[in-house]
Structure 1
Amino acid sequence: MTAEKTPLVGAIAVVAHQGKTILVQRRNPPSAGMWGFPGGHVELGETAMNAAARELQEETGVHARPLEYLTNVDVILRDDDGQIECQYLLVAVLCEYQSGTPMPADDALQACWLEVDELENSGLPLLDQVADVARLAQARMQTR
C-alpha cells in the first residue's frame, strides 16, 4: 500500500515597500533556481501569518509585520508523465517592512529588493503568479 499524497500548506511573505518587493532565488527543489517570495511550510500550531514573517526572517534576515491575508496560490507540480508529484496551497501574507537588508540565508541563493513594475521584464525566471501577487500587494499597501 502506498502512502496517500495530500496537499501541503505553505506561507509566503509579500513585502511591498516604496514600489519594491523582496524576492529570493530558491536553492532547493522543487523550484530550485526560480525567483519567488520568501516562504515555506506552516508548522503545526503556527498561523500562516506568523509562518510568513518567520520564513522571511530566516531566508533574508528582514523583519516585517504580517498585516493581512492577501490571496492564495495553488501550486501543482507534475512529472514528465503528467502525474502529480506534489501540491501546495500557498497563503500569501501582506507584510509591512520594518528593518533589515535582504541577505540570502536558509534555502535562498539570492535575496533582494526588486521594482514591482519591472518584475515581468526583469529577465529573472519567476515562479507562477509572482508579478500578479506583487502588484496586488502594492495596490493594497497604497490603500492602507
Structure 2
Amino acid sequence: MTASSPDGRLYPARPLLAVSIAVFRAGEVLLATRVNPPYAGLYSLPGGLVEAGETLEAAALRELFEEVGVTARVVAFNRHVQSIERDADGRTRRHFVIASFVGDWISGEGTPGPEAGKIVWARPERLAGLACTPFTEEVLSRAAALRAARDA
C-alpha cells in the first residue's frame, strides 16, 4: 500500500475538492502558468483546494487573490472537472474534483507568485499558441458561452 503525501495530495484516501475561476476582462480571460505539479509550466485557470467551512465561491475568489492578486465577482457556475492521475501500477496518484466558476474582473493585473508563474490575459478563442492544462480550452469555451448568454 502506498502512503499518502503529508499534504494528502498524492495517493489520497478520497478525491480532493478544488475550485477554479475563469475571470473575464474586456473579452479576455486570465491564465497563469502552474508552478507546482501536476502540470507545472502549463497555463491554467487560477484555483486550488477548498478549505473546511468555506463555500465553493468564496474558495474560488480567495484562491484567485492568493495566487495572482486579482479580485473578481462570481457570476456563474461553469462545470465540474475531474482530474485523475494513475501511476504505473494503476493506483490513484492524484484525484481532484474541480468546481469551475465564471467571474467578472474587479481589480488587479495579475502578478506571479509562489503558485503562479507567467500571467496572460487572452481571448478564449485564441488559446492555440498556449500550452494549457487538460480541459482548459473546454472550460473556457463553456465559460465564454455562459457570459455571452448572460450578456445577451
Same fold (TM over 0.5): yes
**Considering only aligned residues, what root-mean-square deviation do their CA atoms show, in Å?**
1.6
CA separation in 1, counterparts of 2:137 and 2:38? 20
Displacement of 1:66 in angstroms is 1.3
The aligned counterpart of 2:136 is 130
Q: Percent identity?
A: 34
Hey, what's the Cα distance between the residues in 2 that align with 1:106 and 1:51?
A: 18
CA distance in 2, matches of 1:68, 1:74: 19
Match of 1:39 in 2: 47
Q: Which runs of no fewer than 5 residues in structure 1 stay unpaired? A: none
Q: Which residue in the other structure is 2:99 paired with?
A: 91
Aligned residues: 142
1:21 aligns with 2:41: no
Q: 1:111 aligns with which of 108, 119, 140?
A: 119
For residues 54 and 36 of structure 1, the distance between their equivalents in structure 2, rounded to whole angstroms, comes to 16
User: Hey, which bits of structure 1, 4+ residues long, moved more than 4 A?
Assistant: 1-4
CA distance in 1, matches of 2:45, 2:72: 13
Structure 1 position 80, deviation (Å): 3.1
Q: Distance in 2 between matches of 1:103 and 1:135?
A: 24
Q: Structure 2 CA distance, aligned partners of 1:79 and 1:111?
A: 31
TM-score, normalising length: structure 2? 0.86
Amino acid at match of 2:67: E
* Other-structure match for 2:81: 73
